[in-house]
């Protein structure tokens, strides 16, 4: 445990000194300010005269749109944070002095992973919490089921962190970044195919979309999160892009957990065998 904590401390200092944390927080705050301005100047004008049900529907959709943007920032951060942590240090030789110390190779991977996971968790809380607080402050809208939805966003980010760390053992930094983003893009397209298949009543398209989600579960977890965030009266009528009937099942959540575990195990095993 001592090794994991020392590596975690090192990773945190590095992230802080390289202003990665500062850049992410400033960009996030910039987004929140922008979102706040939009809500402050427009939301009341747009929904002020609407009946209560429609007003809730519009505000809910606006919240989901904002969270969608937050989710995109989280996805980017989940890939960018760990993308060069192993490959970059292996290439530069920095890893040699660490790995020649009395520390397990697995401790190096797990120490880094732990910090990235906590940083993402903090970022999600800051951004999603900030966004929901803005909506409440300016419109009085209260988001339901926020905690389980944020947990799913965290799981989505965990999938990407683990995948990127596993890639970092074998690939160069650029290759790893391309693979990780492609993995997410495939998941996104898979989700789209599944939704289109549902709306068009095209069973093969739905099956293809589901198969892609199994291969790359990141986007499915986000769709599951949006479903949880929506009140039943919206999800049942299926009238927004976020309320599709093709809602990933609870099994997809367990698959996301298992997928993350397998990827982390691959990262540990690959790094243990890697010539440094």
Partner 1 sequence: MTDTVVETHGLRKHFGPNLAVADLSIGVRRGEVFGFLGPNGAGKTTSVKMLLGLIPPSSGSGTLLGAPLGDYRARARVGFLPEHFRFHDALTARELLRIHGRLYGMRGPSLERRIDAWLERVNLHEAANRPLKQFSKGMTQRAGLAQALMAEPDVVFLDEPTSGLDPLGRLLVRRLIEEVRARGATVFLNSHLLGEVEATCDRVAFVKRGRTVHEMSLRDAAYSLDVELRIDRTDSETLEGLGRFGTDVRLDDGVVCLRARSEGLVPEIARWLVAQGIGIHGIGSRTRSLEDYFVEIMGEDERPG
Residues that bind partner 1 (CB under 8 A): 2-3, 5-7, 9-10, 13-14, 17-18, 92-94, 96-105, 273, 275-276
What's the min distance (Å) between Cβ of 8 and partner 1? 11
Q: Residues 180, 270, 158, 4: what is their CA dihedral angle, to the nearest 10 degrees?
A: -140
What's the min distance (Å) between Cβ of 220 and partner 1? 37
What's the min distance (Å) between Cβ of 21 and partner 1? 12
Residues 6 or more apart in contact with residue 57 via CB below 8 angstroms: 233, 234
Residue 172, helix vs strand vs coil: coil
- Which one, 18 or 142, has the nearer CB to partner 1? 18
What's the min distance (Å) between Cβ of 273 and partner 1? 7
What's the min distance (Å) between Cβ of 80 and partner 1? 16
- Which one, 42 or 92, has the nearer CB to partner 1? 92
List C-alpha distances in Å: 122 to 24, 143, 149, 229. Answer: 11, 19, 15, 20
- Which one, 92 or 238, has the nearer CB to partner 1? 92
- The tokens of 171 are what? 């690939």
What's the min distance (Å) between Cβ of 73 and partner 1? 23
Residues 6 or more apart in contact with residue 150 via CB below 8 angstroms: 124, 125, 128, 225
Q: How many CB atoms lie within 10 A of CB 197?
A: 20
- Which one, 67 or 108, has the nearer CB to partner 1? 108
Q: Which helix (H) or strand (E) holds 205?
A: helix 203-215
- Which one, 113 or 138, has the nearer CB to partner 1? 113
Let me know: does 115 contact 12? Beta carbons within 8 Å. yes
- Which one, 13 or 29, has the nearer CB to partner 1? 13
């Amino acid at each position: 445990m001592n090794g994991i904590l020392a590596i975690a401390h090192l990773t945190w200092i590095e992230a802080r000194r390289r202003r990665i944390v500062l850049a992410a927080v400033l960009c996030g705050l910039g987004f929140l300010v922008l979102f706040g301005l939009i809500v402050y100047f427009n939301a009341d004008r747009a929904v002020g005269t609407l009946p209560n049900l429609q007003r809730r529907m519009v505000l809910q959709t606006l919240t989901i749109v904002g969270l969608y943007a937050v989710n995109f920032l989280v996805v980017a951060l989940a890939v960018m944070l760990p993308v060069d942590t192993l490959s970059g240090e292996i290439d530069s030789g920095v890893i040699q002095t660490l790995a020649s110390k009395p520390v397990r190779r697995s401790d190096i991977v797990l120490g880094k992973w732990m910090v990235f996971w906590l940083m993402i968790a903090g970022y999600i809380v800051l951004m999603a919490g900030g966004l929901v607080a803005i909506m409440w402050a300016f419109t009085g809208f209260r988001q339901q089921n926020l905690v389980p939805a944020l947990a799913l966003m965290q799981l989505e980010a965990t999938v990407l962190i683990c995948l990127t760390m596993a890639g970092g053992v074998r690939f160069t930094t650029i290759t790893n970044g391309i693979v990780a983003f492609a993995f997410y893009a495939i998941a996104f397209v898979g989700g789209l195919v599944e939704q289109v298949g549902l709306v068009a009543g095209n069973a093969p398209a739905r099956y293809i979309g589901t198969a892609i989600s199994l291969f790359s579960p990141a986007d499915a977890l986000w769709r599951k999160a949006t479903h949880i965030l929506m009140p039943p009266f919206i999800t049942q009528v299926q009238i927004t892009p976020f309320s599709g009937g093709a809602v990933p099942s609870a099994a997809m959540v367990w698959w996301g957990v298992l997928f993350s575990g397998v990827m982390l195990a691959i990262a540990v095993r690959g790094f243990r065998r890697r010539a440094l």
